[in-house]
Amino acid sequence: NAGVTQTPKFRVLKTGQSMTLLCAQDMNHEYMYWYRQDPGMGLRLIHYSVGEGTTAKGEVPDGYNVSRLKKQNFLLGLESAAPSQTSVYFCASSYPRTFGGTEAFFGQGTRLTVV
């Protein structure tokens, strides 16, 4: 049982380049999330999805796009990377709508540096 898997783990981009971060979960979770973690800022929600084919903006969505074509995968795209997008990105998933719901399960993170 792999849980939540993110690829890649590390990446260095030049300003203006594009890339896609892949998140895959094998727990049949409905909800998936992309967060970014910056020093002193905790985890901030970029985009989220409540089911296959649906996505929505979170707290800091600018400069990012997402897609959820399959229930198990949630992709985060950077069309034109900027130094301000240097961060650690975490994907997570959960199944919140049963009574009490489940906690979020996290991937191992992707450390992205934009130079």
Partner 1 sequence: ILNVEQSPQSLHVQEGDSTNFTCSFPSSNFYALHWYRWETAKSPEALFVMTLNGDEKKKGRISATLNTKEGYSYLYIKGSQPEDSATYLCAFCSGGSYIPTFGRGTSLIVHP
Binding site for partner 1 (CB under 8 A): 31, 33, 35, 40-45, 48, 58-59, 90, 92, 94, 96-97, 99-109
Structure tokens that stand for 74 in this block: 């949630």
Distance in Å, CB of 73 to partner 1, minimum:
18
Amino acid at 82: A
Beta carbon nearer to partner 1, 19 or 88: 88
Residue whose C-alpha is closest to residue 68's, from 38, 31, 39: 31
Helices (H), the chain: none
Distance in Å, CB of 109 to partner 1, minimum:
6
Distance in Å, CB of 108 to partner 1, minimum:
5
The angle formed by the CA atoms of residues 57, 60 and 65, to the nearest 5 degrees, is: 55
